[in-house]
Structure 1
């Protein structure tokens, strides 16, 4: 892909982009709507490129950078390409991986894969994003600071239960990582926040993988991707005098 010279537009980098009817895509569209150039990263090149085409067709600026979020070399390469677009103002880690299985049926390989994507991926992406945010030339004393780093969490980050042992361990570790980043880089002007998604997301993954759950949830029983994306945008826009480190989102009908 031919990249433009450095843009005057702020850049948002979203990792964990898949289907158009998914959270990563909704976040990308929300930031593009506000005039951001959006850099899109996901494992499936065809899906990442299709979303970039969709956003451009709607009048936005979007760039497809497919790759493995847990591969440090790949993320460093993508980060360098993101920097060619312009100054990074927001980064969102939305990648996730986990297997549903009884604990005694889980293999070490499956457990490790959940950790690799959720935790190692969150670390290498977060590290690359933090470096870019520190270098983007903005004033840390500005109302929104140097920029925003957001992590998509889950109910499993707060409590483990079967059959999600691997997913829960990985998401709990990601939550702890976000807290460490927030405590280290908040005072330097970077807003780091973790968002607990407490419920099913009404997207392609759930509708294709567990249609019975969609039916059981009924009207207003699932989180809408666009509604979640709106919260991500509002987190980015928070004044530095009142930053949120963790938010939890759930349908009004969801018990907790």
Structure 2
């Protein structure tokens, strides 16, 4: 019996959130389409899932390219030997960097918008086009605290993440009544992984145990969203370490 597919867009390093979400979905009987910019990275994630007995296929895509996203969803919604059509889509792509507002050029601002907002729109639109006729499915977006408030040096990030949040809200209001669960997850705090540890040496020691978000714990929260009964759907969920101020 074929299993349903799941799409995870925005997968990079094996210790990153996208990889953790992919592993979580695979562990819950989904054939995961692991999508990211770098084929080598996404293939490593997919290979690890397969070695552990799960199902996964790697896709190298640029989520800001419409044709790439359409190609991914064509594969996701096909009923074939790799599984039944997808019922779970997660947009996890994004970028962040502190930049002095006075030093930022227009092309940099646009680059952040393309990754954090336009990519989310394209994935959300294709998900809606494919899932609404079926009357079921979940579409989740990885958000950030910047979607709620703009901090010094992060105007470009906040503007683009706020845009993604509004896409999620509009989709939820439009497609929730048609059976599609759309949720925005605010990840408030540093994610424990090589990227944060390399960029901010000593950060882990400073915050202590459970002071950063564990990727597997975040991934489990996404899966629980997918399992929610339609009479009690969450539209926005915020996750943070218990030590994080907010």
The verdict on a shared fold, with TM-score over 0.5 as the criterion, is yes
User: Separation in 2 of the partners of 1:167 and 1:59?
Assistant: 38
Shift of 1:101: 1.1
1:237 aligns with 2:235: no
The 5 A counterparts of 1:31-180 are 31-84=25-78, 85=82, 86-135=84-133, 137=134, 140=135, 146-180=136-170
User: Separation in 1 of the partners of 2:186 and 2:201?
Assistant: 23
User: Separation in 1 of the partners of 2:204 and 2:105?
Assistant: 29
Shift of 1:157: 0.5
* SS of residue paired to 1:87: strand
User: Separation in 1 of the partners of 2:166 and 2:7?
Assistant: 22
User: Separation in 1 of the partners of 2:126 and 2:196?
Assistant: 30
Relative to structure 1, the CA distance from residue 216 to residue 106 in structure 2 (aligned partners, 3 Å threshold; closer, same or farther) is farther
User: Separation in 2 of the partners of 1:100 and 1:242?
Assistant: 37
User: Separation in 2 of the partners of 1:218 and 1:102?
Assistant: 30
Shift of 1:208: 2.0
Shift of 1:165: 1.1
Shift of 1:8: 2.0
1:213 aligns with 2:197: no
- 8 Å CA contact 2:189–2:240 kept in 1: the answer is yes
- Give the TM-score normalised by the residue count of structure 2: 0.95
Shift of 1:217: 2.0
User: Separation in 1 of the partners of 2:117 and 2:202?
Assistant: 30
Shift of 1:204: 2.3
Number of residue pairs the alignment of both structures matches: 242
Aligned structure 1 segments of 4 or more residues deviating by more than 4 angstroms? none
- Give the TM-score normalised by the residue count of structure 1: 0.92
Relative to structure 1, the CA distance from residue 215 to residue 111 in structure 2 (aligned partners, 3 Å threshold; closer, same or farther) is farther
- 8 Å CA contact 2:32–2:55 kept in 1: the answer is yes
- 8 Å CA contact 1:99–1:110 kept in 2: the answer is no
User: Separation in 2 of the partners of 1:130 and 1:59?
Assistant: 30
Shift of 1:209: 2.1
Unaligned runs of 5+ in 1: 1-6, 141-145
1:185 aligns with 2:175: yes
- 8 Å CA contact 1:15–1:95 kept in 2: the answer is yes
- 8 Å CA contact 1:97–1:113 kept in 2: the answer is no
Shift of 1:27: 0.6
* SS of residue paired to 2:62: coil
Shift of 1:218: 1.9
Pick from 3, 6, 12 the counterpart of residue 12 of structure 1.
6
Unaligned runs of 5+ in 2: none
